[in-house]
């Protein structure tokens, strides 16, 4: 009782940060500020994302048993020339895991924090999202995976234009050649000119994938030693192997073996015109100096030995350099996309955002213009998808519209454009009814629960429905789902978990914008 009273008194003393958000623009700004508050609360509390912990634990383990296991698995006798072949290059021998990198949304700060419906019984998606009957839904705890990249070594990648030197470095030396499509390559082993069989050997993406399957048992044993409760290990069709973890987030960890590669058209990227002045010359130089990664292609339409160019390192560096407003714009778009059925990959949204940041003046990216910024990104994506012309941000010759799991339809983007305002209002309403609802009601200036807020301002829209997003039907009663947001997200806003200085009456009113808390930016090392 004492804790409840203390919580009630503490929350009552807080200054509201908003007058009750009513318009679409105000709703988007309010949601954006909630995400910004959470970033600052985590930084002040010194709380580390679970992804960093998993990455650091696995990286430490690489120096012991896993190193030996992987080296044994990657030893490929068939790739090795013999003295009888007349080749002074005796082949690669064994590869090992050099280091690991945390990648993807957890490192970029754009992960999704709402439950995603995975299985729907006899209900449509819209009905399942809004039904009051929780037993008819099946949820995952989070929609963003944890991506960890493992660098294979020693591997040196050259190109036909930039061949290996006469005295090549030790280890595996390969020359990349086209696999028939921009961004996809084959890695042919370098042989001395005297070799009688110089054309037979590749460092095979397929072989790496198969070795990952064999590596699974050793990896699971290592995870158990580290106290990580692994419930499943699988090698999918793409470059990643996936570990399912029994933790409070039901985390999925994607493990991606990769090879560093400096053979990408960085000079073209350097010379590109940037109307907004972003990224600036110093950041462009840093990006151009960074090697890309080669990951297993994972497509049956290509040679099984093929590798795919990945700019995950560059994307992480770029996303972390964005303003808070720009990065949270992407976060909100990803949440709206999930709410509206997750019809296309969030990678399309990230690509569109990077292009728009390069073109749109930086002064337009403000908290009170968040909806306008999101619309600018979606409009860019809609234009490119309509022309089947969405290009890779770092190498425009690579099309993201040519299949291989990257398909997106114009109607899917239109669904996001027309539905994101309603989705945002629904997400805000769910916050008002959540386990931290009393705090959000106070901060957002609302003295009504989420369902009343939602119905009051969108009654007419609900009656009409919107692009398949209607929440009124004969088989379900529309209602706000207090469990939409993940427990991990809401836990940060529980009164008892707030750092002491954040319980002051004015803290929330003064924070949650572009200013940094002193603790921000002190993220752990993760290899980048």
Residue-wise pLDDT tens digits, 81-97: 555 554 555 444 567 77
CB neighbours of residue 268 within 10 Å: 13
Give the pair of three-digit tokens for residue 397.
């010759």
pTM score of the predicted model: 0.86
Greater confidence, 238 or 481?
Answer: 481
Amino acid 468: pLDDT: 40
Residue ranges per domain, the chain? Answer: 21-170+205-510
List the one residue out of 35, 57, 346 whose CA is nearest residue 226: 57
In this prediction, residue 476 has a pLDDT band, given cuts at 50, 70 and 90, of very low
> What is the mean predicted confidence (pLDDT) over 355-367?
96
Dist. CA 378–CA 274, nearest whole Å: 20
Amino acid 472: pLDDT: 30
Summarize pLDDT for 267-286 with one digit per residue, the tens: 999 999 999 999 999 999 99
Helix intervals (H) in 396-449: 410-432, 437-443
Strands 230-235 and 184-189: unpaired
List the one residue out of 431, 430, 438, 404 whose CA is nearest residue 12: 438
In this prediction, residue 244 has a pLDDT band, given cuts at 50, 70 and 90, of confident
CB neighbours of residue 464 within 10 Å: 10
Give the pair of three-digit tokens for residue 57.
């634990």
In this prediction, residue 469 has a pLDDT band, given cuts at 50, 70 and 90, of very low
pLDDT(196) > 70: no
Give the pair of three-digit tokens for residue 421.
């305002």
Summarize pLDDT for 395-434 with one digit per residue, the tens: 999 988 865 445 678 899 999 999 899 889 889 999 999 9
Amino acid 72: pLDDT: 47
Q: How many helices (H) and strands (E) does the chain have?
A: 18, 12
In this prediction, residue 123 has a pLDDT band, given cuts at 50, 70 and 90, of very low
Residues facing 188 on adjacent strands: 175, 202
Amino acid 194: pLDDT: 57
153 sits in which H/E element? strand 146-153
List the one residue out of 74, 526, 82 whose CA is nearest residue 313: 526
> What is the mean predicted confidence (pLDDT) over 130-152?
58
Place of tokens 């995400």: 35
Residues facing 232 on adjacent strands: 244
b/e for 53-76, b at 16 or more Cβ within 10 A?
A: ebbbebbebbeeebeebbeebbeb
Dist. CA 429–CA 423, nearest whole Å: 10
Decide: 418 and 466 in contact? Cβ < 8 Å.
Answer: yes
In this prediction, residue 311 has a pLDDT band, given cuts at 50, 70 and 90, of very high
Summarize pLDDT for 488-513 with one digit per residue, the tens: 899 999 999 999 999 999 999 999 88
Give the pair of three-digit tokens for residue 12.
């009552």
Query: Where is mean pLDDT largest: 88-102, 181-195, 282-296?
Result: 282-296
In this prediction, residue 74 has a pLDDT band, given cuts at 50, 70 and 90, of low
Dist. CA 348–CA 206, nearest whole Å: 27
Q: What is the average pLDDT score of the chain? A: 78
> What is the mean predicted confidence (pLDDT) over 464-468?
45
């Amino acid at each position: 009782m004492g804790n409840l009273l203390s919580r009630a008194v503490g929350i009552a003393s807080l200054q509201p940060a908003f007058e009750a958000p009513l318009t679409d623009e105000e709703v988007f700004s309010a949601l954006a500020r909630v995400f910004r508050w959470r970033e600052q609360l985590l930084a002040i509390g010194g709380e580390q994302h679970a992804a960093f912990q998993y990455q650091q634990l696995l990286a430490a383990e690489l120096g012991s048993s896993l190193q030996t296991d992987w080296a044994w698995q990657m030893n490929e006798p068939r790739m090795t020339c013999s003295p009888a072949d007349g080749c002074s290059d005796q082949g690669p021998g064994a590869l090992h895991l050099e280091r690991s990198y945390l990648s993807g949304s957890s490192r970029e700060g754009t992960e999704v924090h709402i439950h995603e419906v995975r299985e729907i019984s006899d209900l449509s998606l819209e009905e399942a999202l809004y039904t009051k009957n929780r037993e008819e839904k099946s949820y995952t705890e989070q929609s963003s995976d944890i991506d960890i990249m493992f660098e294979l070594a020693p591997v040196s990648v050259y190109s036909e234009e930039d061949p290996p030197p006469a005295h090549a470095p030790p280890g595996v030396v390969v020359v990349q050649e086209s696999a028939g499509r921009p961004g996809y390559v084959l890695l042919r082993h370098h042989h001395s000119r005297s070799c009688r069989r110089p054309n037979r050997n590749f460092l095979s993406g397929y072989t790496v994938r198969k070795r990952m399957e064999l590596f699974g048992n050793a990896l699971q044993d290592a995870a158990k030693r580290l106290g990580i409760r692994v419930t499943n290990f699988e090698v999918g069709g793409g470059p990643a192997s996936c570990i399912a973890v029994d933790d409070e987030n039901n985390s999925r960890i994607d493990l991606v073996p990769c090879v560093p590669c400096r053979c990408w058209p960085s000079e073209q990227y350097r010379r590109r015109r940037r109307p907004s002045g972003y990224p600036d010359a110093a950041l462009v130089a840093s990006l151009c100096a960074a090697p890309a990664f080669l990951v297993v292609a994972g497509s049956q339409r290509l040679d099984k030995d093929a590798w795919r160019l990945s700019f995950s390192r560059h994307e992480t560096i770029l996303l972390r350099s964005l303003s808070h407003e720009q990065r949270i714009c992407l976060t909100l778009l990803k949440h709206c996309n999930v709410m509206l059925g997750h019809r296309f990959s969030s990678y399309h949204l990230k690509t569109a955002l990077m292009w728009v940041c390069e073109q749109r003046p930086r002064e337009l990216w403000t908290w009170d213009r968040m909806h306008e910024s999101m619309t600018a990104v979606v409009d860019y994506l809609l234009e490119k998808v309509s022309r089947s012309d969405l290009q890779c941000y770092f190498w425009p010759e690579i099309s993201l519209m040519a299949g291989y799991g990257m398909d997106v339809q114009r109607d899917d983007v239109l669904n996001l454009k027309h539905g994101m305002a309603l989705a945002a209002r629904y997400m805000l309403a769910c916050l008002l009814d959540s386990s931290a609802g009393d705090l959000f009601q106070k901060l957002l200036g609302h003295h009504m629960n989420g369902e009343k807020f939602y119905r009051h301002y969108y009654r007419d829209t609900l009656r009409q429905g919107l692009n398949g997003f209607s929440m009124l039907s004969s088989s379900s009663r529309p209602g706000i789902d207090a469990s939409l947001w993940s427990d991990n997200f809401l836990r940060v806003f529980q009164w008892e978990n707030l750092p002491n200085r954040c319980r002051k009456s004015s803290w929330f009113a003064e924070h949650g914008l572009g200013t940094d808390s002193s603790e921000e930016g002190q993220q752990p090392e993760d290899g980048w």
